[in-house]
A and B are shown apart, each in its own frame.
Chain A
Amino acid sequence: MDALNVYAAKLAPQQESLAPGHRACQGCAELLAVRLVAKTLGRDYIIANATGCLEIVTSSFPHSAWQVPWIHVAFENAAAVASGVEAGIKSLKKKGRYPVDRKITIVAQAGDGGTVDIGLQALSGALERGHDFIYICYDNEAYMNTGIQRSSSTPYGAATTTSPAGKESIGQVTMKKNVAEIAVAHDIPYVATASPSYPFDLMEKVRKAADMEGPAYIHVLAPCPTGWRMAPNLAVSIGRLAVETKVFPLYEVVNGEYRMTVQYKHHRPVKDYLKPQGRFRHLQEKEIEFIQQYVDASYEKLLKKIAMSEG
């Protein structure tokens, strides 16, 4: 696997369609992931962007970081806007009023808040209607742009500004909503989880999603040093730890068939993932043990689905 990565790095496209000079925080893994997507898709794609960190840091007029067509309308409607772009181009192509010579990929991109909470309805509508597009959720596990408030994607035990840890609270008390599974329930051709800490896995998934007809959903875990209260140089390694501890397994679902794309023989305890992050600093052994059990159980569930697909 690692040997392959060294080899593959040379094959990765040189081309950048996300220009440098954007305003993301130091060590932001969300922008790292976006750059990898941009490298994969080159210049033949169009983005519908939800409000959030990604939109704010890349589009401060007159400085746009985007070298591909890009539109931002509002917070909760990236999937609907992308539906429109796809349908509009389809219609114009039929009438010979839009270049037909090449495939243009339509990408909707949003944060976890713009996806799993306020944008869930528009996402479900677009997936159900079957538009040919990729929806990418950059999940940094809170509303970062507005100051680290909890979302339904914030994991159990994490302290945010609206789920603070205190005498009466351990921080977030709910379990992370599993939107990749909600996407699978729409019976779409392609669903995957991905991480910028595994760049070639991520790029391969984006390529597959783009080549597939119909909707694709990719859920990217995007470590955010600012919101996770950790040093900027830890973003990539914490992303790896999320996978090594089974907290965020990397898998794909192609036409309903599950497959793990990154495998480890031995997994590390979740403690190793939680420790470096200030947002979990307050957790006691008891809660860490509870999280460990939950992670184990979720992972088992996933393995069963994979086994069923293989069987």
Chain B
Amino acid sequence: MAKKTGIEVSLGISEAVKLADVDAIAAYPITPQTHIVEHLSELVADGELNAEFIPVESEHSAMSVCAGTAAAGARTYTATSSQGLALMNEILFIIPALRLPIVMTLANRALSGPISIWNDHSDLMSVRDTGWIAIFAENGQEAFDLTLQSFKIAEDHRVLLPISVNIDGFTLSHVIEPHEFLSQEEVNEFLPPYQPLVQLNPDKPVSMGMVGIPEIFFEAKKAQDVALIESKAVIKEVFKDFGDRFGRYYNVIESYRTEDAETLLLTMGSISETAMEAIDVMRDEQGRRVGLLRLRLWRPFPVDELREMVKGVKTLAVIDRAVSFGGTGGPVAGEIRSALYSTADRPYVASFIAGLGGRDVTVKDFMDMAALAEKMEAEGEIHEYKMIGVRE
């Protein structure tokens, strides 16, 4: 085993971007993403990374510049959070339609208002339908590994789609964690330079982003959807390749102590670590049959894997970190309910919304949610969603 280095997660991500030998980075500062791009611009300034760093005047331009660099055939990286992502919104939809494999770190932060720099998932949820692959990392090692793997997935000619690698702002981005880095040789072998399928080059002129008349628009959208759905197979392939090479295996849904569980919690992001602690307490001290599912892949949604993993489970408590105001459940819970609706013997799905705008979700909160979900299941309570941890 290689040695572990204690380093801030943001810097670990920058290290992965450097090892990926990206060709272009365009970014605009926003907390809590800043440490990543600050470090990258240092690496470029020191000549340690041979890339163009384009310090743009807005996130809208950051994503637009990325469209240009990627269309020119450059391996392209950016990072943002919250309001920055919201300002990019228009362009986010166009990137997958142009099949540009941009990798973006999303240091998840609440959307205004009130303005908040702290963590939840409302930023990512607001771009759910943009057509990006969305992956969650819950610790520094995962953030490093998944950043590298994302370039390989995105640039695969069977995929050619952009990816957001989600890390919780502050609670993950700013903490110092042990990382096992890879050497440049290892990365070079795993991730050769980007070979674009088409690029802007006068030797072979192409027109990108043409008008979609009604006769072709729908077909273009279907092709895009098929590409996103089919990317899951490539994602799994890359996860396996990475695991075989470096010994760290990833899954589209991770599970923790789910054997013979009657109740499962389901989380995304770094609160999963607290949830695991809660599972340990409930299993080891209370003898309860509970386990945890950690959703790694948010888009494309791993429907088949989910259906398989909840077989025989009585209660599924989904913990969302965003609200769909006036909707039928938290964004993740709503998705899961509809994924399971047509299956026989589906579990009872309780939808909890917790930890908005940096509110702590504690071990006790998770235990309470598990107990509450079981009670709701027993009583057959009909509900849309419940907010946990709000002072009334």
**A binding-site residues for B, Cβ under 8 Å:** 43-46, 48, 55-56, 59-62, 64, 66-74, 76-77, 80-92, 94-95, 97-99, 104, 121-122, 124-125, 128-129
Q: Which of B26, B55, B74, B216 has the most CB of A within 10 A?
A: B74
Q: Does B390 contact A (CB under 8 A)?
A: no
Give the contacting residue for A80; candidates B61, B76, B208; CB below 8 A: B61
Q: Which residues of B contact A46 (CB under 8 A)?
A: 200, 202
A69 in contact with B24 given A97-B193, A122-B57, A124-B57 (CB within 8 Å): no
Q: Does B344 contact A (CB under 8 A)?
A: no
Give me 10 A-to-B residue pairs in the complex whose CB atoms sit less than 8 angstroms apart, sorted by A's number: A45-B202, A60-B213, A61-B211, A77-B61, A81-B64, A84-B71, A92-B72, A97-B193, A98-B73, A122-B58
Q: Which residues of A contact B60 (CB under 8 A)?
A: 76-77, 80, 122
Q: Are B216 and A71 in contact (CB under 8 A)?
A: no
Give the contacting residue for A87; candidates B24, B73, B94, B213; CB below 8 A: B24
Q: Does B285 contact A (CB under 8 A)?
A: no
Q: Are A61 and B210 in contact (CB under 8 A)?
A: yes
Return B260 CB to nearest CB of chain A, in Å.
Answer: 52
10 closest A-B pairs (Cβ-Cβ)? Answer: A84-B68, A88-B72, A125-B57, A88-B69, A80-B64, A88-B74, A77-B64, A72-B209, A84-B65, A64-B207
Give the contacting residue for B72; candidates A74, A80, A89; CB below 8 A: A89
A85 in contact with B213 given A71-B71, A91-B69 (CB within 8 Å): no
Closest residue of A by beta carbon distance from B204: A69
Q: Are A88 and B64 in contact (CB under 8 A)?
A: no
Q: Are B68 and A80 in contact (CB under 8 A)?
A: yes
| Complex Cα gap A210–B58 (Å) | 27
Closest residue of A by beta carbon distance from B67: A73
Return B380 CB to nearest CB of chain A, in Å.
Answer: 49
Q: Which residues of B contact A89 (CB under 8 A)?
A: 72, 74, 200
A61 in contact with B61 given A84-B24, A84-B54, A84-B68 (CB within 8 Å): no
Q: Are A71 and B24 in contact (CB under 8 A)?
A: no
Q: Which residues of A contact B205 (CB under 8 A)?
A: 43, 66-70
A87 in contact with B65 given A92-B72, A98-B73, A99-B203 (CB within 8 Å): yes
| Complex Cα gap A288–B205 (Å) | 48
**B binding-site residues for A, Cβ under 8 Å:** 23-24, 26, 50-52, 54-58, 60-61, 64-74, 76, 90-91, 94, 98, 193, 200-203, 205-213, 216
Closest residue of B by beta carbon distance from A70: B207
Q: Are A90 and B209 in contact (CB under 8 A)?
A: no
User: Apart from A71-B207, A72-B210, what 11 extra A-B contacts exist at CB < 8 Å?
Assistant: A46-B200, A60-B211, A67-B205, A69-B202, A69-B205, A71-B208, A80-B68, A85-B71, A92-B74, A99-B203, A104-B202
Q: Are A98 and B201 in contact (CB under 8 A)?
A: yes
Q: Are B211 and A59 in contact (CB under 8 A)?
A: yes
Return B77 CB to nearest CB of chain A, in Å.
Answer: 12
Give the contacting residue for A71; candidates B58, B90, B200, B203; CB below 8 A: B200
| Complex Cα gap A56–B211 (Å) | 6
Q: Which residues of B contact A74 (CB under 8 A)?
A: 64, 90-91, 94
A88 in contact with B52 given A60-B211, A71-B208, A72-B208 (CB within 8 Å): yes
Q: Which residues of A contact B94 (CB under 8 A)?
A: 73-74
Q: Which residues of B contact A61 (CB under 8 A)?
A: 210-213, 216
Return A270 CB to nearest CB of chain B, in Å.
Answer: 37
Q: Which residues of B contact A73 (CB under 8 A)?
A: 64, 67-68, 91, 94, 98, 209
Q: Which residues of A contact B56 (CB under 8 A)?
A: 80, 83, 125, 129
Closest residue of B by beta carbon distance from A49: B209
Q: Are B58 and A129 in contact (CB under 8 A)?
A: no
Q: Which residues of A contact B26 (CB under 8 A)?
A: 84, 87
Q: Which residues of B contact A70 (CB under 8 A)?
A: 205-208
| Complex Cα gap A285–B90 (Å) | 46
Closest residue of B by beta carbon distance from A72: B209
| Complex Cα gap A80–B66 (Å) | 9
Q: Which residues of B contact A80 (CB under 8 A)?
A: 56, 60-61, 64-65, 68
Q: Which residues of A contact B212 (CB under 8 A)?
A: 61
Give the contacting residue for A92; candidates B58, B64, B73, B90; CB below 8 A: B73
Closest residue of B by beta carbon distance from A67: B205
Return A189 CB to nearest CB of chain B, in Å.
Answer: 20
| Complex Cα gap A119–B292 (Å) | 48
Q: Which residues of B contact A45 (CB under 8 A)?
A: 202
Q: Are B57 and A84 in contact (CB under 8 A)?
A: no
Q: Are B206 and A88 in contact (CB under 8 A)?
A: no
Q: Which residues of B contact A84 (CB under 8 A)?
A: 24, 26, 54, 64-72
Q: Which residues of B contact A44 (CB under 8 A)?
A: 202
Q: Which of A45, A76, A85, A91 has the most CB of B within 10 A?
A: A91
| Complex Cα gap A87–B54 (Å) | 8
| Complex Cα gap A273–B153 (Å) | 59
Return A40 CB to nearest CB of chain B, in Å.
Answer: 15
Q: Which of A45, A64, A73, A85 has the most CB of B within 10 A?
A: A73
Q: Are B91 and A69 in contact (CB under 8 A)?
A: no
| Complex Cα gap A48–B65 (Å) | 11
Q: Are A91 and B24 in contact (CB under 8 A)?
A: yes
| Complex Cα gap A76–B60 (Å) | 9
Return A249 CB to nearest CB of chain B, in Å.
Answer: 30
Give the contacting residue for B73; candidates A60, A88, A124; CB below 8 A: A88
| Complex Cα gap A15–B201 (Å) | 18
Return A116 CB to nearest CB of chain B, in Å.
Answer: 17
| Complex Cα gap A260–B73 (Å) | 41
Q: Are A81 and B67 in contact (CB under 8 A)?
A: yes
